[in-house]
Structure 1
Amino acid sequence: MTSNLQRSKTTQLHGGYDGSEPPLAPPLDASPRILKHGDMFALLNAHGDVEPTDLMGAGIYMRDTRRLSRMRLTLAGEALLLLSSHVTLETGALIADLANPDIWRDGDKILPRDTLHVYRTKYLWEGSCHERIAVRSFDLNAIETDLDLSFDVDFADIFEARGYERAQRGDVAVSVEGGDTVTFTYASADGERRVTRLRFWPRPTEIAERRARWRLDLPARGSRTVFVDLQCDPQAEAKVPPRRFFSQMRHACRSIMAQTHRGAQVETSDELVNQVFSRSRADITMLTTETAQGAYPFAGVPWFSTPFGRDGIITAWLMLWADPHIARGVLRYLAAAQASSDDPASDAEPGKILHESRDGELANLGLVPFRRYYGSVDSTPLFVALAGAYWRRTGNADVIHEIWPAVSRALDWIERDGDRDRDGFVEYFRRRPDGLVNQGWKDSSDSTFHADGRLAEGPIALVEVQGYVYDALRSGSVLARIMGEHERADRLASRANELLERIDRAFWQDEMGFYAMALDGEKRPCAVRGSNVGHLLFSGAARPARVGEVVRAMMSPTFFSGYGIRTVATTEARYNPMSYHNGSVWPHDTALAALGMARYGHTDDAARLFGAILDAASTMDLQRLPELFCGFRRRRGVAPTLYPVACSPQAWAAAAPFGMLAASLGLEVDARARTVRLTRPHLPERLERVMVRRIPVGDGTADIYITRAAGSVAIDVPHRSRGVEIDVKM
């Protein structure tokens, strides 16, 4: 039976094809949908569209260049209704359920809403975006309708998408080829050929430079499917889109599952917490890109989808107990990218470790300083310290021998260029006028200041950096001895001990009962209570007699918001819970503070912080921890206030739950001794039990179950490989 609407055998629902834009969509779910694989990422709305009006910087990007700046799907000339939208853990694909709105013609409703279901699947793989659009009718009559896809490519640099204004840029050429392909080509000023090719199947009924249309004949309760391939590699294999869609999805699924299930697996008594860990592991997998040196977790999407030295090191460290494979790739990549010459334009000095790497047109032209940028003071000591932690965790002598020349040069930088005034502290100052003013992890322009709010003038010695240097010297001593450089090993160990005393004398402030945030260029303490001190604990560079007072301060309401540790205490002059670095909560920052507390035996406080971060994550979209959130005091029944432009996902935020679990349990793995150690283990109040399976220990594994019991915990070991020991100290 067919419909007689509009005096036709078939309901005809067509939109005009006059080149004008379709009407704006109704309000959307404001949460973006993020896809990433390799050097490519997508920032989409919940419909799966690229709409600049919905999301700042929306688009599909490849190596810091936007390869799709607009894409909009409409049916019968109307915007679709959103039913549901999510990114799958198994394939990293966006799944969007959409439906038609009420369709009106000449004042008559000719099709009720929710008659046509549009099932949209989109994923990235090896430089391409693959999409399947399935339209299914639930009408008892046949329907004829138009499915329209409008699109555009501007080849904007990632910094342009963030607001950078440039005086001149190249031209974009577009061509229609063979009735099923549209190719955009950009005349880049840096000489690199950039191409976006869109291929459609089946061949559209109508095609133009920025739009494709399919006239769909839907039988009663019938369906039709359209495939779209977006290719950024001009040499990509020209397979038929349906074949590419299904074959590449199989490859993607196998690869993602293999990476996600590598290393230790965590399961708890709380289903929401399980979702937090699953999402965190999936995000680490998504953000990790295979480089020539191994796996490297890119910092975050959208603005930091590139290698960052500091971010990669801290992410690898937080994941080290569970998956040391990540640290191996990070160490090898950063060793290969180490600065070998003096270059003020990139803040490079021999032995210095990379801050950031960019591949976009603006970076290639030198219009932004980040092609290979070395403007961070902490990446170099953190690199050496991670190498030592990796050795303790894995005993992998082959990697240590491979990276030792880079470790040695990094230690030379710490003693030479890192400490130009030879006062025993590593300081920073920028050598390029448009480089970063502040070069610690809190790198916003107002993040280092005095008690009265005055900004500190450099060169600046951050307290946490001195902790990293202490750890680097100790680790360097151990590694030098492995390499047979015993005299150097002794000297590094002696320097570490001297630095420990020097930190306490210069940074401890009796009147605050806390360490100063930094020393300014005149060696005056910035007497500000900052979360920087949590990193000092993490490095083991605080005097044990001071730690109790420090931990009490950090767990007080001035620091602890109820959801995490604020970057500065509420008592400080520049405290602002909505700021980037002056009162907000960063999950990785709280995780490092928790690990620092655990290092000094305060695992009960670490467990409390872990519970707070889990509570925050449980309220987040997709149970995904963002880069940061606002530091307002926790209120009953109220979720954390989001920071509007936080990266989400962000690698070190995703790794934070794994680091905090280790802190709560006092968990360490010594592969050379084939031992898993638990020291004063605690659980957050919301967890009755935690099951950690397949902890890598040398060539073996161990499973450990932790259960709350009579104010303490009980430990069970259902499996351990032959020769693996479990050492528990309650």
Structure 2
Amino acid sequence: MGGAVEDAASNENQWYVAATTLRSDEPARVLKAEDTFGIFDRHGDIHQVTSSEQGLYHGGTSYLSHFELRINGQRPLILNSTIKKDNSLLAVDMTMPDLFKDDVLVIPRGSVHVFRSVVLASPARHEHLRLVNYSDQTVDLKVEFRFASDYRDIFEVRGVHRPARGTMLAPEITEDTVVLGYRGLDGELRRTHIRFHWHPDQINDSCCSTTLRLGVHGESHLHVTISCLTDGAEVPTCDYYQAIDRIGASIAAARSSVGHIVTSNEQFNDWLGRSAADLDMLVTQTDHGPYPYAGVPWFSTPFGRDGIITALQTLWIRPELAKGVITYLAATQAESLEPERDAEPGKILHEARSGEMAALGEIPFKRYYGTVDATPLFIVLAGYYFRRTGDRDFIESVWPHIERALNWIDQHGDWDGDGFVEYARHSANGLIQQGWKDSNDSVFHADGSLAPAPVALCEVQGYVYEAKLLAAELAEVLGRGKWAQRLRQEAAILKRRFNEAFWLDELNTFALALDGEKRRCSVRASNAGHALFTGIAYPDYALRTAETLLATDSFSGWGIRTVAEGQSRYNPMSYHNGSVWPHDSAIAAMGLARYGFKDKAMKILTGLFEAAVFLDLHRLPELFCGFTRLPGQGPTLYPVACSPQAWASGAVFQLLQSCLGLSFAPEKPQIRFYHPQLPSYLSWLRISNLRFDAGVIDLALTRHAHDVGINVERKEGDIEVAVVV
């Protein structure tokens, strides 16, 4: 995931996300709007700590590295701090501590209410501060805002050292405004425009202060707007209240075309609601349509693999997202051989970055293609998008890109012509491991030795298998019968050869990978769950793999470990060698359900649900540690995990789809439920505003002793509902 690795001491690990200090025990507060995001503490502050990821970021750069509120020199006491359920606003209730003057108590604690709310409307942060005096005497309050900006690139924040930086510009100060600036080595002018919407008593390049006199039950309101400006950009005219109105309208518009789920379980509803809101927040409008940025803070940018998997997870409930992902990735598909970017004709993007370091080539990720799996997954998404929507015209428009992706699989993806897709980096600065587990030490043999390249990953062969079958379906729809016939033949050969080459009879699972010498990496790992997800596994092997994935050495009680306990490189605190990733477990659950193991899929659903109950805001992070679940304790957090993360947010929707056996047949059109099941803690589930073909439908599902009943509560259009029990 974006090149985070395990061993910071190695020279190969330049893209390591450093954790030189532990995060604060208090949870971060995250807001995002398009290409702007903010990470604040529970007070709404940004601490000026070099090792902290707190800040206001725009376009991959920190525009505000310090912003703290002080009243009479003190930090107010927290009463409550929360992000609204729709992620539109941070609301913080505070009060003043006991304040003394010459040993005399002048403001008793709890007598002044301090309310702070923050919203983001890209490229600006809008703040409202309200102070109310509930005491029986007049109070004088000196309100200070302290601020600074260091204009660090997100990779500097991650821990990458730069030998040289650009120039900090002299601040521009007026009676109510401070403009900080930086001219990067890329020539770009970046400015932080801080507007105080009143006339402060004092203002300089790092602080603004105002003394307010509040009578009994008096109150005062202050507003601050902080805008992140690049060369030539004008200061936004939108104010706090207009920003709130625009955000509300934007959320309502986005939700109008998306299905909505509610259940009998309020805690489950909280998980659903937070996941949906996080996806709404992470989705960014690009020139090619909506795209889910991977995660905040380290991956708030387009990632090919992450975008595809998020779109697959949510395809049944928000298909327009998949269309945006396909369109964006088609437009950015590689056209030529560029070894420094690991690009080859037809290959799908790994990630795209803005920011000074990307512009200068100090990192290879401005537009980088070092991923082995995004290309077959691109075809998989296109195939499932057609099954969901029947949008033939769109598929015809992207078919040339599908052809080019198929050609990449056969020509560049298969290094040695053995029928398997492998990878090895061409770029000296690129990623060594190019599957979704992209830590440098994530592919290894039973003795712990690293697998030499080129590496053929277990899950990638499954992606290629399903890509060819789905491409065959699309080829037939478009009248390309010879393509379809050839692709099905190739898929059948790949399935046979995969099961022969990757199956580990002694471990009851598939090998993690084949190394460059075609030796099996005999390791129990979660990758095998992806083989079930794609259907490449023989049924008897799938049964044995299912048992292995849910055994106690693999299943932590919360989810499936990336590497099973007892394997040579197992470490429950590692990034990829023993941790639990919600999206990885959800993909395995989909695979288990595909082979009929609904009970095991529901076990994963339950584990991740119960993890969400323990976590702040009921938000599943990018990953958490793989320690065995203990009674009464929640999951152990990973210190630098992104939260929110798109494919962690999408996991709940994929898990529900797997348990319900939900699929679509656009030619009828028909919604199908294959052996639907609900866990014991969900008595009923309602799906409303589910759009399909030209219609919309609302469904009510009720759990009975031996099956799930489905009633149509509303239907517009000619939509059938079929249930196999």
Q: Is 2:313 the counterpart of 1:338?
A: no
Whether 1:223 and 2:219 are equivalent positions in the alignment is: yes
Bigger mean CA offset, 110-119 vs 524-533: 110-119
Q: How does 1:119-130 map onto structure 2 within 5 Å?
A: 119-130=115-126
Residue 630 of structure 2 corresponds to 635
Could you say which residue in structure 2 is the equivalent of 1:389?
A: 384
Amino acid at match of 1:507: F
**C-alpha contact (below 8 Å) 1:45/1:54 kept by paired residues:** no
Instruction: Tell me which of 251, 254, 279 is aligned to 2:249.
Output: 254
**Residue 302 to residue 663, structure 1, CA distance change in 2 (3 Å):** same
Deviation at 1:509, TM superposition (A): 1.4
What is the match of residue 30 of structure 2?
A: 34
Correspondence list, 1:466-477, <5 A: 466-477=461-472
Paired residue secondary structure (1:526): coil
Match of 1:377 in 2: 372
CA distance in 2, matches of 1:470, 1:279: 34
Name the structure 1 match of 2:701: 706
Q: Which residue of 1 aligns with 2:103?
A: 107
2:268 paired with 1:283: no
Q: Which amino acid aligns with 2:210?
A: W
The residue type paired with residue 124 of structure 1 is L
1:720 is aligned, of 703, 715, 720, to 715
2:535 is the alignment partner of 1:535: no
Distance in 2, matches of 1:683 and 1:562, equals 19
Please give the alpha-carbon distance, in whole angstroms, between the structure 2 residues aligned to 1:408 and 1:687.
Answer: 44
The 2-side partners of 1:176 and 1:456 are apart by: 56
- Offset of residue 237 of structure 1: 5.6
Counterpart mapping for 1:469-548 below 5 A = 469-548=464-543
Task: Name which of 435, 439, 448 aligns with 2:434.
Answer: 439
Q: SS of the residue aligned with 1:310?
A: helix
Q: Check conservation: 2:66, 2:146, Cα contact below 8 A.
A: yes
Alpha-carbon distance, 1:28 to partner = 7.2
Moved more, 299-308 or 175-184: 175-184
The 1:55/1:281 distance shift into structure 2, 3 A limit, reads farther
Q: Matches of 1:29 and 1:498 in 2, distance apart? A: 53
Contact 1:185 1:196 in 2 (8 A): yes
Task: Please list, as runs of the form range in 1=range in 2, the aligned pairs for 1:638-717 lying within 5 A after superposition.
Answer: 638-717=633-712
Kindly indicate whether the alpha-carbon contact (under 8 Å) linking 2:305 and 2:373 is maintained by their aligned counterparts in 1: yes
**Cα offsets for 1:258-303 (capped at 9, x unmatched):** 2235321111111010000000000000000000111000000000
Distance 1:236 1:250 in 2: 23
Instruction: Compute the displacement of 1:348 (Å).
Output: 0.5
Give 2:616's aligned amino acid: D
Contact residue 394 and residue 672 of structure 1 kept, 8 A: no
Deviates more, 1:36-45 or 1:218-227: 218-227
For 2:87 and 2:247, the matched residues in 1 are separated by 6
183, 189, 210: which is aligned to 1:214?
A: 210
Quote the residue 1:20 is aligned against. Answer: none
Closer, same or farther in 2 for the Cα pair 1:125/1:539, shift >3 Å? same
- SS of the equivalent of 2:244 reads helix
SS in 2 for 1:629: coil
- Kindly provide the amino acid, as one letter, of the partner of residue 156 in structure 1: R
Give the drift of 1:91. 5.5
2: CA distance between counterparts of 1:239 and 1:219?
35
> Equivalences for 1:560-599 in 2 at 5 Å?
560-599=555-594
2:239 alignment partner, SS class: helix
**Could you tell me how far apart the structure 1 residues matched to 2:666 and 2:72 are?**
62
Residues in 1 aligned to 2:32 and 2:284: alpha-carbon distance in whole angstroms: 9
Contact 2:424 2:453 in 1 (8 A): yes
Q: Percent identity?
A: 45
1:36–1:124 Cα contact (<8 Å) kept:
yes
Equivalent residue runs for 1:137-536 within 5 Å: 137-233=133-229, 244-536=239-531
Match of 1:133 in 2: 129
How far apart are 1:523 and its partner, in Å? 0.2
After superposition, the Cα gap between the structure-2 partners of 1:361 and 1:536, relative to the gap in structure 1 and judged at 3 Å, is same
- Contact 1:672–1:698 (8 Å) recurs in 2: no
Counterparts of 1:579 and 1:501 in 2: how far apart (Å)?
Answer: 34
Unaligned ranges ≥5, structure 2: 1-22
8 Å CA contact retained: 2:87, 2:277:
no
Q: For residue 554 of structure 1, what is the aligned residue in structure 2? A: 549
Distance 2:321 2:236 in 1: 34
RMSD (CA atoms): 1.5
- The one-letter code sitting in structure 1 at the alignment partner of 2:62 is R
The 1-side partners of 2:695 and 2:28 are apart by 41
Q: 1:174 to 1:684 in 2, by over 3 A?
A: farther
Kept in 1, the 8 Å contact 2:172–2:180? The answer is: no
Q: Which runs of 5+ in 1 are unaligned?
A: 1-26
Does the aligned pair in 1 maintain the 2:51–2:157 contact within 8 Å?
no
Q: Residue 68 of structure 2 aligns with which residue?
A: 72
How big is the shift at 1:697? 1.5
Give, in whole Å, the separation in 2 of the partners of 1:483 and 1:80.
65
Task: Tell me which amino acid in the other structure corresponds to 1:539.
Answer: T
Is the contact made by 1:591 and 1:659 (CA closer than 8 Å) also made in structure 2? yes
Structure 1 pair 563/54, CA: closer, same or farther in 2 (3 Å)? Answer: farther
Aligned equivalents of 1:55, 1:144: Cα separation in 2: 36
* Displacement of 1:527: 0.8
Letter in 2 for 1:318: Q
Q: Secondary structure at the match of 1:536?
A: helix
Deviation string, structure 1 residues 352-395 (Cα, Å, up to 9, x no partner): 00001100111111111111010010000000111001011111
State the 1:549 CA deviation.
1.1
| 1:89 counterpart (85, 95, 98) | 85
Distance in structure 2 (CA, Å) of the matches to 1:126 and 1:362: 22
| Distance in 2 separating the partners of 1:35 and 1:689 | 32
- Contact 2:180–2:191 (CA under 8 A) maintained in structure 1: yes
SS at match of 2:229: coil
> Could you list the per-position Cα deviations for residues 521-552 of structure 1 after superposition, in whole angstroms to 9, with x for gaps in the alignment?
00000011111011111111111221111111
CA contact (8 A) 2:583 2:647 kept: yes
The amino acid across from 1:278 in the alignment is G
d(CA) in 1 for partners of 2:412, 2:173 = 57
State the Cα deviation string for residues 113-153 of structure 1 (Å, max 9, x = none): 12211111111113111111111111121122210000001
Tell whether the 8 Å contact from 1:132 to 1:225 is kept in structure 2 after alignment. Answer: yes
Are the equivalent residues in 2 in contact too, given 1:703–1:718 (CA < 8 A)? Answer: yes
Instruction: Answer with 702-711 or 673-682: which moved more.
Output: 702-711
The 3-state SS of whatever aligns with 1:393 is: helix
CA drift of 1:226 comes to 0.9
When residues 67 and 238 of structure 1 are mapped into structure 2, their CA distance, relative to the original with a 3 A threshold, is: closer
Q: 3-state SS of the aligned residue for 1:78?
A: coil
CA contact (8 A) 2:265 2:682 kept: yes
Report the AA paired with residue 373 of structure 2. Answer: D
Find the residue that maps to 2:105 and give its secondary structure. Answer: strand
Residues 118 and 136, structure 1, Cα contact 8 Å, conserved in 2: yes
Name the SS for the 2:164 alignment partner: coil
Secondary structure of the residue aligned to 2:449 is coil
Matched residues, number: 702
Instruction: Please tell me whether the aligned partners of residues 41 and 60 of structure 1 are also in contact (alpha carbons under 8 angstroms).
Output: yes
Aligned-partner residue type, residue 712 of structure 2: V
**Which residue identity is paired with 1:444?**
S
Q: Is the 8 A contact 2:472 2:483 kept in 1?
A: yes
